[in-house]
Structure 1
Amino acid sequence: MGTEEFQLPRSRAANERLHALIPGGAHTYAKGDDQYPEHLAPVISHGRGAHVWDVDGNRYIEYGSGLRSVSLGHAHPRVTEAARREIDRGGNFVRPSVLEVEAAERFLATVPTADMVKFAKNGSDVTTAAVRLARAATGRPRVAVCSDQPFFSVDDWFIATTPMSAGIPQAITELTVSFPYGDLAATEELLDRYPDDVACLIVEPTGPPDYLAGLRELADRHGCVLIFDEMITGLRWSEAGAQGLYGVVPDLSTFGKALGNGFAVSALAGRRELMEQGGLRHSGDRVFLLSTTHGAETHSLAAATAVLTTYAEEGVTAQLHTLGEKLAAGVRGAAVDAGVSDHVLVRGRASNLVYATLDESGLPSQEYRTLFLRQLLAGGVLAPSLVVSSALTDADIDHTVDVVAQACAVYRKALDAGDPSAWQGGRPVKPVFRRLV
């Protein structure tokens, strides 16, 4: 179907209803319709495996499923059955369920670098708990975040560093400092600039191992806590995350996304002497670590346990890498064939691929991204990224590459014209973090 014929009238009407009742029209800014070409933001009806259907009846091969959370595919039978079984037995009680210890045992068997774990519902819960614990343990106020990574938390200590910092007092803003990824000298300079003042370094540990080992050494030498945010790398890099792959052990780490295959569950894990400060079996000041009414609802913990078991028994991480490598090779080949390989770029680890769209000058372009997304959507590919799930088949990837090839041919036309506007279909897509609407 050509882009001119591809219309989403029911999705467009549903988006109007969403915006009338929900600020932003979605519960995650990355799912907003401003991230998609004008009037071509599908509203999803349902999903199964690697496919989703919109309310207009269109089927798509979906990438980046659930913002990387659905790595086994939608409605995975082993996961949904585990959750369904617990729903029939009650979801939340006045005392801990035995599932809480069973899920903790399974998690710590999977991530043996940690001694204790506490579960919550989303990533921000646990990253903020890690920061609070680091501040309590060190008695220091400042948090050092990696400036090259896009997101750590919805809470003030991180959002203060973004262009969307409205509503956050300057006093909070001043307590967060940043360091560039991969630059140990700059990080040491930062720690020297604030001696005995930085409570923690928090980073997504994407590698390489010598850099992560260097961060470990800096944290030890300067007396601060090293926190690995494994929301994305957890399970996708290895079953035990990047720390399991690279052999560098953080003091605290946080997991989510793939952990629940779409169910709401996250985890804070770490060294016993730190984690126990949020518990009852120590003699120091109590730390309010995490306390959530729904943090241990049974069906989400059952889902997480099933996910961890499936990864271990079926070698899912290896599957993700194999699928990603095939997809990356196909997309790069299509870009070469169309003469746009300097403009449509595939980046990232095979299990976590993203793409860049560059203009005639080689600069990132939201206009060209809009053109590219329109072509993909019309071809039945929903791909804000190229992050794979294990539910993808070779036929899915072959179809995706065919659609990408068609998109690249249009991209070449726009480059030759020196202007993509004729193929945008309206306003360009926008970055998530921006000051103005």
Structure 2
Amino acid sequence: MDFTNSREANKRLHDLVPGGAHTYAKGEDQYPEGMAPVITHGRGAYVWDVDGNSYLEYGSGLRSVSLGHAHPRVTEAVRAQLDLGANFVRPSVVELEAAQRFLATVPTAEMVKFAKNGSDVTTAAVRLARAATGRALVGICRDQPFFSTDDWFIGLTAMPAGIPSAVAELTVTFPYGDLPAAEELITRHDLACLVLEATGRPDYLRGLRELCTRHGVVLVFDEMITGFRWSEAGAQGLYGVVPDLSTFGKALGNGFAVSALAGRRDLMELGGLRDSRERVFLLSTTHGAETHALAAAMAVQETYTAEGVTARLHELGARLAAGVRAVAADAGVGEHVVVRGRESNLVFATLDNAGRPSQEYRTLFLRQLVTGGVLGPSFVVSAALSEQDVDRTVEVVAGACAVYRRALDADDPTPWLGGRPVRPVFRRYA
């Protein structure tokens, strides 16, 4: 495959855009050297780059494009709204319609406010919790990779530059699935809220719900990933555990910029005009309710219901996971190329001979995928994939596993890297 134009475009991007991309997870350093395609367009489960190469794409738009690129229901809804205007000096009727539709989809919430990205709504949930409880400390799940670009979260990552230590010290962590550890954290600290992705273990989630209620702690579910992929109503809809506040994004807009903060009326009204308590400055954003983005969100919710998308994502993911595990085992790398996660949200681990996570072996694996026409930083499926697409992906993975076995036998993946290894997103120095 030729990457000449992508390499030149990446160079120009770095000249003009810090990091060469507007999201670190899309960075050139996340791909094998010289093999980071710059995309021109996408259709369904496929994308094309500036060199004319085509790829089956996984993890589309960092999990945001769950229906596939340019899904007709969504694009038609957006086009229709664009002719009517995108933003006004007063709320549009679309804001009312979108709120009604969202709360019908997520009936565990009583009010909703829209924004453009997940970081803003999750930070707004933290602000509401602090205002409601009068407490400053925030508890976050340490086993989950990302909640916000804002200081209260980034201060605890490997990239805390520019964040005062006094701010970072207002956030503490707890492990997922360990209820005694959560109880110990709550009793030791005066917490405003617990923030986590409700990825599984309903008994644990019910235990957290009881703990938070008993101690007056606001329970916040980050449903950026679990929203729609677990069920149309998110993890809370699947597991029947109702948080005080929850945040949605990603799949909500199928690539269009829209997110949502939802939850209990008494908490949400702190940011309203009908409450006697001290007001919270809550998500006052110029572009938070652009009409075409809300039209996209409504079309997404309609499509999930009409087409049974959540079930489809699970079916495709199950087929992919089974296929990858089978070919990895056949190649003798079943303990090294490891598929993990819920069927609708699969990732893979690349382990060395000692069973340790390896960026070098990840680079080898990604290089073989890209060469085979699969753009797969994860194995997160979209509903646009066909069974044949999944089977083709498994064939490419089989070839990658054969190379992986050779590298393990040599105990040295270097000859197959083609340059520097891929790097973790969170690191102190470039």
Alpha-carbon separation, structure 2, partners of 1:403 and 1:163: 34
Q: Which residue type is aligned with residue 129 of structure 2?
A: A
Alpha-carbon separation, structure 1, partners of 2:45 and 2:61: 11
Q: Which residue of 2 aligns with 1:179?
A: 174
Identity of counterpart residues, as a percentage?
A: 76
| 1:214-269 Cα distance to aligned partner (Å, 9 max, x none) | 11111112111000000000000000000000000000000000000000000000
Q: Which residue of 2 aligns with 1:410?
A: 403
Of 16, 22, 40, the residue aligned with 1:27 is 22
Q: Which residue of 2 aligns with 1:3?
A: none
Q: Which residue of 1 aligns with 2:281?
A: 288
SS of equivalent to 2:55: strand
2:264 is the counterpart of 1:271: yes
Q: Which residue of 1 aligns with 2:32?
A: 37
Alpha-carbon separation, structure 1, partners of 2:214 and 2:111: 24
| 1:99-158 Cα distance to aligned partner (Å, 9 max, x none) | 001000000000000000000000001000000000000000000000000000000000
Aligned residues: 430
State the Cα distance separating 1:38 from its structure 2 match.
0.5
Q: Which residue type is aligned with residue 405 of structure 2?
A: R
SS of equivalent to 2:226: coil
TM-score for both structures, normalised by structure 1 = 0.98
Q: Which residue of 2 aligns with 1:52?
A: 47
Alpha-carbon separation, structure 2, partners of 1:214 and 1:55: 51
Alpha-carbon separation, structure 2, partners of 1:56 and 1:329: 33
2:296 is the counterpart of 1:303: yes
SS of equivalent to 1:311: helix
2:227 is the counterpart of 1:242: no
Q: Which residue type is aligned with residue 260 of structure 1?
A: G
Alpha-carbon separation, structure 2, partners of 1:7 and 1:214: 54
2:223 is the counterpart of 1:230: yes
Q: Which residue type is aligned with residue 309 of structure 1?
A: E
Q: Which residue of 1 aligns with 2:138?
A: 143
SS of equivalent to 1:274: helix
2:412 is the counterpart of 1:419: yes
Q: Which residue of 1 aligns with 2:351?
A: 358
Q: Which residue of 1 aligns with 2:374?
A: 381
Q: Which residue type is aligned with residue 155 of structure 1?
A: D
List aligned pairs for 1:120-131, cutoff 5 A.
120-131=115-126
Alpha-carbon separation, structure 2, partners of 1:229 and 1:271: 15
2:18 is the counterpart of 1:62: no
Q: Which residue type is aligned with residue 33 of structure 1?
A: E
Q: Which residue of 1 aligns with 2:310?
A: 317
SS of equivalent to 1:206: coil
| 1:165-195 Cα distance to aligned partner (Å, 9 max, x none) | 000001101100000111111111111211x
Q: Which residue of 2 aligns with 1:391?
A: 384
Alpha-carbon separation, structure 2, partners of 1:313 and 1:381: 29
TM-score for both structures, normalised by structure 2 = 1.00
List aligned pairs for 1:74-153, cutoff 5 A.
74-153=69-148
Q: Which residue of 1 aligns with 2:9?
A: 14
Alpha-carbon separation, structure 1, partners of 2:301 and 2:106: 10
Of 391, 397, 401, the residue aligned with 2:394 is 401
SS of equivalent to 1:226: strand
State the Cα distance separating 1:207 from its structure 2 match.
1.1
Q: Which residue of 2 aligns with 1:434?
A: 427
Alpha-carbon separation, structure 2, partners of 1:97 and 1:49: 31
SS of equivalent to 1:234: helix
Provide structure 1 residue ranges, at least 5 long, that are not aligned to the other structure. Answer: 1-5
2:156 is the counterpart of 1:161: yes
Alpha-carbon separation, structure 2, partners of 1:39 and 1:100: 44
Alpha-carbon separation, structure 2, partners of 1:341 and 1:174: 41
State the Cα distance separating 1:7 from its structure 2 match.
3.3
| 1:34-64 Cα distance to aligned partner (Å, 9 max, x none) | 0000010000010000000010100000000
SS of equivalent to 1:267: strand
Of 231, 249, 259, the residue aligned with 2:252 is 259
2:238 is the counterpart of 1:215: no
Alpha-carbon separation, structure 1, partners of 2:43 and 2:250: 18
CA RMSD of aligned residues (A): 0.5
